[in-house]
Structure 1
Amino acid sequence: MITLLLLIPIIGSLVLLPISDKTITGQIQMKQIAITTSLINFFISLILWYQFDSNTTQFQFVSEFHQLNFCHLNFGIDGVSIYFVLLTTFVTPIALLSNYTNINKNLKYFLISFLLLETLQICAFVSLDLLLFYIFFESVLPIIFIIIVIFGHGTDRFRSAFLFFLYTLAGSLPMLLSILIILSYIGSTDFQLISLSEISLEAQQILWLGFFIAFAVKTPLYPFIIWLPKAHSDSPLAGSIILAATILKLATYGYIRVLINFLPDATNYFNPLIQTIAVITIIYASLSTIIQEDTKRLIAYSSVAHMGVVVLGLFSNTIQGIEGAILLALAHGFVSPALFICVGGIIYDRTGKRIINYIRGLATYMPVFTILFFIFTLCNTGIPLSLNFLGEQLSLIGIWQQNPIIASLGASGIVLSACYSLFLYNRLSYGSYSPHIPVIKDINRREFYILISLLLPTFIFGILPNILLNPLHTSISALIYTV
């Protein structure tokens, strides 16, 4: 089953290669093939979720490939990785649909890039080998780089692409050194062998720092956040969606899979440090968000603030905190892409502007859009009945059990998120209609379906969280009490 998940996007890419994108008929055919391929992959992941046994902590659907002499491919899924795989397969067709009409030049390479990106992300989430995880963790960088350079906006996209590529690549080099140390110390990078090995506290501390730097850059945490707003603001809409929904979750998964699982003593030792960094990230990013004038940059900085709450929950050393962090990561994967679609897709495609001062009074001509934008804005602030609310509350409750002061400072992000989210919505939606933008139409059927498809899981899982929590309990309990 995992093999199918990995191969279907590759097969779809191969089918796209011989088709010409010079004609309108060829372009329509390519778009249909790419979206159909991604939807098939999503349905296969749903079948995988349905067949998943949540009563065991063992890896399931394990697939091994020994045919390659230079590499041993080993894939499997547990209660944590299944949700990140589902999020990846769910968001990919939405990303393709978001740029369905406004990218026609080099369309073939655009579609193939996102299908390959889906396979590489799934490989990172299902790898059972630390070296493989690093390879797939880094393999997304050149594809995102190409997407920003070729399909991005503005002349500054080259600098943004190089900043993203070099910043995250350099940040991951300490992780590679740590993996090589583990390989020389244990003789293998297999997850199960590493979990059975005893590593001294001093060695764990050195290894932990190497992994943490890589994950902190990818999250990103303060002071490594400079690349994210620029990458978001200059990338195409589909690139921003994938970047916010799944690329940032590679670090979330890495915290759980590597730091908490393999290096528990060092994680406990460095908990005060990472909690302090997470609080600084939340407050700094929230205050930076309030002063932003570019709508995409504003949503990008808000993503940084929410990921800071995720990190607080992950390193709370409690079941509630870790489960809340995973719920918030999933909620962020739904709400943040929706906000990017609203401000960087729907509004930008119609007005050609992203500066808040030039946009005003959209409720006059776009009532349906205004309602949906308002709901997603409230979800971004963490209102009850949304998955964001549950994720934030569980994360903060988890950290409260360890350090009430840190929890109180982290909770300030909720107040600040209400400030910048409602400020953005109010400025764009109400007041007299801006003279700087033409009269525009409300959202079309494609945009409506995309937003509804992101809205439904946000509230379904917010009202019925046990759908997600029941399979998580066993894996997270084993993670906390076994280590």
Structure 2
Amino acid sequence: MSWLVALILLPLLGALVVAGLRENDRVATLVALAVSVVELALVVPLWIAYDPGGERLQVLTSVDWIPAFGVHLSFGIDGIALLMVAVTALLVPVVIALLHSTDRLPDERRVGSFLALILLQEALTIAVFAATDVFLFYVLFEIMLVPMYFLIGFYGGPRRQYAAVKFFLYSFLGGLIMLASAIGAYSLAADELGGGTFDWATLVAVVSDAPTSTQIWLFLGFFLAFAIKAPLVPFHTWLPDAAGQAPVAVTVLLVGVLDKVGTFGFLRYSLPMFPDASAELAPLVLVLGVAGIIYGSILAAGQQDMKRFVAYVSIAHFGFIALGIFAFTPQATVGSATYMLNHSLATGMLILVVGIIAARGGSSRISDYGGMVKVTPILGGMLLLAGMSTLSLPGTNSFVSEFLVLIGAFDSRPVYAIIATVGMVLAAAYVLWLYQRIMTGPVRGDALVGAGGGPGTAMAPEAGAKKAVRDLSGKEIAVLAPLVVLIVGLGFYPEPVLDTVSPSVDATLTAVQER
């Protein structure tokens, strides 16, 4: 059994165990946390063993699944997939450890069932990034919607059912269209080789030589599925609803990891399999990317709900990732690949911090807060750091990625790069405005101030504190510390990540640049 299979099976088995402990919340939480920490520990030797200068796909394993149709249970990773497997394994124990600080689940729902779904989501997400059979990728692409549907629909806010159904239908429809294109690629392979296959490497070799008109039709099927998942404008409308209604722990995985399946799909499937179509339709994707940057930035500035604010910020960031991928330069594409990781870290921390704020104050409305840094200085510092990484301040992890995207895109697509630069200015505006409204000035807002303040509350008696609002505890600081270290550390020393993804990016771009 390969290391990758162990990484998939461990959280899957953990989910079964935790589901059986759903009547004991404390034990279920401890077991789920232990499983997720062991999973993270197993990623470390995988990262060490990975050879950036070796074969494109490593840690390969494959067994027959449906031999009559050339379908295999095949797994392997390149540098880009390794980044996404690693960040998935990192974020899951963080959200589990902070669950009681960020979320209050509905009274009738058990924590054990919730955590079992989280572990199941982790297993399926890692499997999606590791799949090297196109049909297997499609199956996992669709199945991973199921635990996320229940996580949103059973444990979310007042409009959770609407948000869950919308999320599921959008992604499921995109997946069905992708399946049609995958079948088309299978048929091309059957005509060319005398037998059909869904093996990724074989399809890349065969389909990339198909006529451009054929590639375009097949490309559009994959593109629509990935654009919905990413999400790119105008396929984004499910995200604000889902992120706004989902529990904070689920929103972290949804925005930080699950959405990356879309941009990962562009790099793993769209560009290598359909190089002519990718080059032909690049202007369309670039327009959608820069439109998302501007649109997401403007909408983020107008949000009154903190979680919806993060959703629109993410839409803007996915525009940067799409810009870098379809600029077809090494710098821009490396920037996009690392942006996928850095966005997960920065946005994951931002969601966790605003989730803690909302849990402390009992509201996610921005207008219900003000002057909070006076009573929660450490929490205020964490929000500021997450915000600075989100706006790509030099010295934070996101800066390197955004800089590479813009400088690489300027070489080949200067107009799009110039428009995207406006997004950096807007990012500074909406992030600093959010921080100013929540943290600075006098203590104010319904979440912090009201009738009934007095001695023993976190505010001064004259402030009329409605309830005590405490700062981060030692445990919460310790759980957030790895994200802080990575945000600052990768800001000053990004070389390990850049070295890991660069060979995979070069291999991805080779086919497109030769056209």
What TM-score do the two structures reach when normalised by structure 1?
A: 0.96
1:216 maps onto 2:227 in alignment:
yes
Aligned-partner Cα distance in 2 for 1:262–1:355:
45
Provide Cα deviations, 1:5-26, integer angstroms capped at 9, x if missing partner: 01111221232243352xxxx3
> Which of the residues 232, 235, 239 maps onto 2:246?
235
Question: Which range is displaced more, 317-326 or 88-97?
Answer: 88-97
User: Secondary structure at the residue paired with 1:63?
Assistant: strand
Aligned residues of 1:57 and 1:79 also touching (Cα < 8 A): no
What residue number does 1:129 align with?
133
Instruction: Write out aligned runs for 1:250-261 (5 A).
Output: 250-261=261-272
1:302 maps onto 2:318 in alignment:
no
Aligned-partner Cα distance in 1 for 2:425–2:436:
16
- Aligned residue pairs total 477
Instruction: Write out aligned runs for 1:41-60 (5 A).
Output: 41-60=39-58
> Which of the residues 382, 395, 416 maps onto 2:405?
395
Provide Cα deviations, 1:303-356, integer angstroms capped at 9, x if missing partner: 00011001100111111011101111111101111111111x211111111111
Task: State the one-letter code of the partner of 1:175.
Answer: M
Assess, with a 3 A threshold, how the Cα gap between structure 1 residues 20 and 381 changes in structure 2: closer, same or farther.
Answer: closer
> Which of the residues 19, 22, 32 maps onto 2:21?
19
Question: Which range is displaced more, 103-112 or 212-221?
Answer: 103-112
Task: State the one-letter code of the partner of 1:282.
Answer: I
Instruction: Write out aligned runs for 1:53-452 (5 A).
Output: 53-66=51-64, 71-100=71-100, 102-103=104-105, 105-154=109-158, 156-186=159-189, 187-197=196-206, 198-343=209-354, 345-436=355-446, 437=448, 438=466, 439-452=468-481
Provide Cα deviations, 1:380-414, integer angstroms capped at 9, x if missing partner: 11111111101101011111011211100011110
Question: Which range is displaced more, 127-136 or 6-15?
Answer: 6-15
Provide Cα deviations, 1:142-162, integer angstroms capped at 9, x if missing partner: 1111011111112x1111111
> Which of the residues 495, 502, 505 maps onto 1:466?
495
Aligned-partner Cα distance in 1 for 2:225–2:21:
39
Name the % identity: 30
Task: State the one-letter code of the partner of 2:306.
Answer: T
User: Secondary structure at the residue paired with 1:401?
Assistant: helix
Task: State the one-letter code of the partner of 1:379.
Answer: S
Task: State the one-letter code of the partner of 1:409.
Answer: I
Aligned residues of 1:325 and 1:391 also touching (Cα < 8 A): yes
1:40 maps onto 2:38 in alignment:
yes
1:29 maps onto 2:27 in alignment:
yes
What's the Cα RMSD here? 1.5
Assess, with a 3 A threshold, how the Cα gap between structure 1 residues 123 and 334 changes in structure 2: closer, same or farther.
Answer: same
User: Secondary structure at the residue paired with 2:88?
Assistant: helix
Task: Give 1:67 deviation, angstroms.
Answer: 6.4
> Which of the residues 506, 510, 513 maps onto 1:477?
506
Task: State the one-letter code of the partner of 2:300.
Answer: T
Aligned-partner Cα distance in 2 for 1:59–1:164:
31
Provide Cα deviations, 1:69-111, integer angstroms capped at 9, x if missing partner: 6852011111221111111111111121221364473122111
Provide Cα deviations, 1:286-319, integer angstroms capped at 9, x if missing partner: 1111111111111110000011001100111111
User: Secondary structure at the residue paired with 1:370?
Assistant: helix
> Which of the residues 6, 23, 26 maps onto 2:8?
6
Provide Cα deviations, 1:428-458, integer angstroms capped at 9, x if missing partner: 0011111522341111123212322211111
Task: State the one-letter code of the partner of 1:55.
Answer: G
Task: Give 1:56 deviation, angstroms.
Answer: 1.7
Aligned residues of 2:177 and 2:224 also touching (Cα < 8 A): yes
Aligned-partner Cα distance in 1 for 2:445–2:31:
41
- Who wins on radius of gyration, i.e. which is larger? 2
User: Secondary structure at the residue paired with 2:241?
Assistant: helix
Point out where structure 1 has 5 or more consecutive residues left out of the alignment.
Answer: none
Aligned-partner Cα distance in 1 for 2:181–2:503:
29
Task: State the one-letter code of the partner of 2:146.
Answer: P
Aligned-partner Cα distance in 2 for 1:278–1:264:
19
Question: Which range is displaced more, 92-101 or 328-337?
Answer: 92-101
Aligned-partner Cα distance in 1 for 2:162–2:45:
42
Aligned-partner Cα distance in 2 for 1:264–1:435:
54
What residue number does 2:454 align with?
none
Aligned-partner Cα distance in 1 for 2:431–2:55:
39
Aligned-partner Cα distance in 1 for 2:65–2:175:
29
Task: Give 1:66 deviation, angstroms.
Answer: 2.7
**Displaced runs of 4+ in structure 1, greater than 4 A?**
67-71
Task: State the one-letter code of the partner of 1:478.
Answer: A
User: Secondary structure at the residue paired with 1:61?
Assistant: strand
Aligned-partner Cα distance in 2 for 1:460–1:33:
30
Task: State the one-letter code of the partner of 2:479.
Answer: I
Aligned-partner Cα distance in 2 for 1:312–1:298:
22
Point out where structure 2 has 5 or more consecutive residues left out of the alignment.
Answer: 190-195, 449-465
Aligned-partner Cα distance in 2 for 1:359–1:110:
29
What TM-score do the two structures reach when normalised by structure 2?
A: 0.90
Aligned residues of 1:98 and 1:237 also touching (Cα < 8 A): no
Assess, with a 3 A threshold, how the Cα gap between structure 1 residues 67 and 404 changes in structure 2: closer, same or farther.
Answer: closer
Assess, with a 3 A threshold, how the Cα gap between structure 1 residues 243 and 20 changes in structure 2: closer, same or farther.
Answer: closer
User: Secondary structure at the residue paired with 2:412?
Assistant: coil
